[in-house]
Structure 1
Amino acid sequence: MVAFLVYLAAALAEIAGCFAFWAWLRLGRPAWLIVPGVASLVVFACLLTLIDTDAAGRAYAAYGGIYILMSLVWLWMVEGHRPDRWDLVGVTVCLAGSALILFAPREG
């Protein structure tokens, strides 16, 4: 459960940081948005180090499903576009894959 919460926070930080650049470059918002965007990306990177796993690549791979979930939440809550059924099916498959990567029993 702790890993899931860390992943949720990391995803929110990453999406917010990337969206700051999107807002500046694609939506014509002020360039100063890059400053909190970069800070948010630093928080994202630090949060991923809190995942209890023996390999960074495994933590990042499992994170992918949570990132997709939070991206769809962002799509809906911030951008005002409701995810469709294919978004929901896709994120379900991704979350199952993330759980398998993170929680599968490992040898040695």
Structure 2
Amino acid sequence: MESSPAILLLKTLGLFIVTALAEIVGCFLPYLWLRKQGSVWLLLPATCSLMLFVWLLTLHPVASGRVYAAYGGVYVATALVWLRVVDGVKLSMLDWFGAGVALLGMSIIVAGWDGRG
């Protein structure tokens, strides 16, 4: 049974958010080690997180380039939320607008997915 375009978009968005968090955590932990004198043991969960990130990207039913292009929009928005929540930086209206534009771009790309690559 084929999903509606709205369901496909919501499923894809959810998977991309989890994927973005895996990538950000996988990069943030080495940052803590290198810049904040964190333990070298942070590299172990960072590696696992980046492996999860790569695996999650393979779960989409279209060609890798389309996945990467659409994922980029969600990554931008997720990174800005991370900036606000984890780093405590107040986002500007332009930050929020940019996230919206990036998510709109992702939505347009996903709307064109037809399963043929």
Q: Same fold (TM over 0.5)?
A: yes
Runs (5+) with no aligned partner, structure 2: 1-9
Q: Which residue of 1 aligns with 2:11?
A: 2
Q: TM-score, normalised by structure 2?
A: 0.84
State which of 56, 65, 69 in structure 1 corresponds to 2:73: 65
Is 1:92 paired with 2:74? no
State which of 103, 109, 112 in structure 2 corresponds to 1:104: 112
Per the TM alignment, residue 72 of structure 1 is displaced from its structure 2 partner at its CA by: 0.9
**8 Å contact 1:15–1:71 — kept in the other structure?**
yes
Q: TM-score, normalised by structure 1?
A: 0.91
1:32-89 deviation digits (Å, cap 9, x = unpaired): 1011001000001111111122x10100110001101110111111111121111111
Query: Percent same amino acid among aligned pairs?
Result: 41
How large is the Cα RMSD of the aligned pairs?
1.4
State which of 29, 39, 42 in structure 1 corresponds to 2:38: 29
1:4-59 deviation digits (Å, cap 9, x = unpaired): 11101000000000001111111111111011001000001111111122x10100
Task: Give the ranges of 4+ consecutive aligned residues of structure 1 lying more than 2 Å apart after TM superposition.
Answer: none
Q: Letter of the 2:55 partner, please give it.
A: C
Runs (5+) with no aligned partner, structure 1: none
Per the TM alignment, residue 105 of structure 1 is displaced from its structure 2 partner at its CA by: 6.2
Number of residue pairs the alignment of both structures matches = 106
